[in-house]
Amino acid sequence: MNTAILPGKKDPPRRRRPSDSPFTWGFWVALGFIVLVVLAAATARWSAPHDPLQLDLLDTLAPPSGAHLLGTDEGGRDTLSRLLWGAQTGLFGPLAVVAISLVAGVPLGLLAAGRGGIVDLAVSRMTDLVLAFPVLLLSILAVALYGAGFLTTVVALGVAFVPSVIRLTRSLASTEKNREYINAYRSLGFGPLRIYGLHILPNILGVILAHAVVHFGYALTDLAVLSFLGFGVQAPDSDWGLMVHEGQQALLQGSPWQSMISGGVIVATVLAFNVVGLRLADAVGKEDLV
Amino acid sequence: MPVLRWTIPRIIQLVLTLLVASLVVYGSVFLVPGDPATLLGGGKALSPEALAVIRERYGLDDGFLTQYWHWLTGLFSGDLGQSAQYRQPVSAIIESRVATTVELVLLAGLLVVVLGIGAGAIAALRGKRVDDAITFGVTILAAVPSFVAAIVLIFLFSVQLEWLPSGGDGEGFVGTLSHLLLPAIALAVSFMAVVARISRSAMRREMVREHVELARSRGLPNGLVVRRHILWNALPPISTVVAMVLAGLIGGTTIVESAFGLHGLGSLLVNSVQSKDFPIVQAVVLMMVAAFVVANTLADLLALIINPKARKGAGL
């Protein structure tokens, strides 16, 4: 896989049968759901039927009804409105985490692959060290040091995700740099910055971005976990993980609506990003072979 | 001893990783702006006398490496510092909590291995219908975070059916088990799905290989072919994933122990972060990281034992 394929020795590209296509109906359903969540986040201001923070102590823990489509929570706040507003932190958090990990990880991975030697060793050892900490523990340690909050958890998770981006970029770039066309550029006298920035990076970016979509799902889960534990988004803001936590007391008393619905939304969103990410990775991975 | 040739370097690496990790966990106090004594004392405004006691206890007036050395040697003699919140030695608090977490991780690990590999094997070996059904279920379960699983399990089995308790620790063997079962399932769900997926594809790869065909054409009974030829050869990738899963299980105890109100190390960590009891946070994080790194090393060594080919790759 990581040897340069000589022309003539390469297997003829396999015709792709329709059933091989990674874009199954599951992919389109998942993508549709993601679009829906993005729309919810973008239009929460107008589409939410109620103010997400408006207390109504006369109508607490209501089951779904005409007035409140998904019921109300312990303070009588409208669950649907809180879910719609929660989509904002629900999507923006993972987006920031993935952005941090890409901005820090991709250049370091390219550097390790390009320079080799002591630079490569140093980057790899750093990566190993961060990977010795389970992601969740690293974030909890950060919260212990810098205090709970959305910003702390997002930055901590972003840092925790950097090593896997470095590893992926490094291995992809190491394979790519030994291929014929890169040798050709090198013999034309192109500098490393130009070769890595303009030729290697665009060719491996597809795979990196596909993995970023999968990481988005992981980050969404981890951020939801951290708010569930009370370390992320703070009350009274609307956040899905926090809503599961806030509904737990009511659930024990037999009104499961808020916890169950927000938990279900988290699962569906993570599932959608997993499916889309894996299918995309499949698609770019296969094209890479042809 | 050829065994030592590839175990000793791994163990040296393990010790180095642990040392650096402990340096990070200890040094993290100094990354925060402000006086480390305040942080170690619980983050509240303390009297100058109290701060002086803390400075004395942690040797904060010495150089950083001297302090670190003091702390590290303290760890080995069981001195983990003093909890600001409980006013007890950290070691005593941890001792009273560690059993619950170990039992929880072992039970969840057992579920992950048995049900994960089992479901993967069934998906790989039975017909397309079964395979599709299991693959579908596994895809969904992989997206269920343990705290959501916890909520659903509590509602179904504690609130609706009233079969199992929704929280607390329980006493005796049956009591402990009944209090640990739901948390262990919640913790295991998504990891089970990951292990099932990897097991299925690893076994699929082995099934079509020549040695399996040969074994079948020799007329070996199906069970033997599956066990000795398919499963055994599919083990290396499976064991790698199981090691990664262990990492998640250890960190995941923080979530399920909090959701179920179990008194283990995970919930201790969460409470201590909330109450800013930093000596406990340091000790528990370090213990969990150590458990994780040791488990990974054991898994690596296990992989080398199962798969002699990997020994060459290890360059040892």
A260: contact with B, CB 8 A cutoff: yes
The answer to whether A132 contacts B248, with C-beta atoms less than 8 Å apart, is no
Here the ipTM equals 0.84
B-contacting residues in A 139-198 (Cβ below 8 Å): 140-141, 143-146, 148
The alpha carbon of residue B83 is apart from the nearest alpha carbon of chain A, in Å, by: 15
**Poorest-confidence range of A137-141, A226-230, A277-281, B148-152?**
A277-281
Give the pair of three-digit tokens for residue B33: 């702006």
The alpha carbon of residue B222 is apart from the nearest alpha carbon of chain A, in Å, by: 30
**DSSP for residue B314:** T
B274: contact with A, CB 8 A cutoff: yes
Residue closest to B100 by CA, chosen among B165, B168, B191: B168
Q: Which of B145, B276, B288 sits opposite A221 (nearest CB)?
A: B145
The alpha carbon of residue B248 is apart from the nearest alpha carbon of chain A, in Å, by: 7
Q: Could you tell me if B139 and B216 are in contact, meaning their C-beta atoms sit under 8 angstroms apart? A: no
- Of residues A17 and A91, more confidence is placed in A91
CATH architecture entry for A26-36+79-289: Orthogonal Bundle (1.10)
Q: Per-residue pLDDT tens for B49-65? A: 777 777 777 777 777 78
Domains of chain A by residue range: 26-36+79-289
Give the pair of three-digit tokens for residue A143: 């919260």
Q: Has this prediction a pTM greater than 0.90?
A: no
- At A5 the pLDDT is 42
Q: End-to-end CA distance of chain A, in Å?
A: 12
- At A102 the pLDDT is 95
Give the residues across from A72 on adjacent strands: A78
Contacts of B9 (CB under 8 A, 6+ apart): B316
Whole-angstrom distance, CA of residue B162 vs CA of residue B178: 12
- At A285 the pLDDT is 67
Q: How many CB atoms lie within 10 A of CB A43?
A: 12
Q: What are phi and psi of A41, to 5 degrees?
A: -65, -40
Give the residues across from B82 on adjacent strands: B89
